[in-house]
Amino acid sequence: MKSNISLIGFMGVGKTAVGQALAEKLGKEFVELDALIAQKAGKSIPEIFQEDGEIRFRELEIEVVKEVADRKNLVIACGGGVVLNTINIDRLKKESVIVLLTASLGVILKRTLHEGGRPLLEGQTKAADIKALMVFRKPFYERAADITIDTSKLNINAVVEEIVAELKEWS
Ligand code: S3P
């Protein structure tokens, strides 16, 4: 049986908040890939993007996925772009059930508006750009997912409850 749960989905769907609550509920360890990447690089995610570029960020993302994917009993909050390199999903799938969190564009805009730290949403990024990115990534997310939960109308606890219920059916 797979002992990890990996949360994937677009920026602002609540992977971190849900992941922390889910880990607590299931008695698993919570890890966030972005935090591990920042730790490895010795700088923040925006600094990595700015100073080293997105390609370097993706290389670091591949490295940390490789390091955590085989560990046991984890809830892993992945960055929104983890699905872009299929090697990441192949590695995660070995020990993880992959849970996709989704939300409508409106909800994502509202949730990310007042939060910083996301280079892909900063500066001149417009709602239409975000929508285009969501549309582009949708097939990547759907191909990777074992379980999908629309979080648009749910609070964190309700999302956690849905995941726990789906996991029972899935395993
Ligand atoms: C990214 C999402 C971010 C972070 C980086 C790139 C993306 O994580 O990994 O800024 O490509 O969608 P969150 O999804 O946790 O915001």
pLDDT per residue rounded down to tens, the chain (171 residues): 899 999 999 999 999 999 999 999 999 999 999 999 999 999 999 999 999 999 999 999 999 999 999 999 999 999 999 999 999 999 999 999 999 999 999 999 988 877 778 899 887 778 888 999 999 999 999 999 999 999 999 999 999 999 999 999 876
Tens of pLDDT, residue by residue over 116-150, are: 788 998 877 788 889 999 999 999 999 999 999 99
SS (H, E, C) 17-84: HHHHHHHHHHCCEEEEHHHHHHHHHCCCHHHHHHHHCHHHHHHHHHHHHHHHHCCCCEEEECCCCHHH
Q: Is the CB of 32 under 6 A from ligand 1?
A: no
Q: Is the CB of 81 under 6 A from ligand 1?
A: yes
Q: Whose CA is nearest to atom 16 of ligand 1?
A: 11
Instruction: State the pTM of this model.
Output: 0.96
pLDDT score for 123: 76
Q: Is the CB of 45 under 6 A from ligand 1?
A: yes
Q: Is the CB of 9 under 6 A from ligand 1?
A: no
Q: Whose CA is nearest to atom 8 of ligand 1?
A: 79
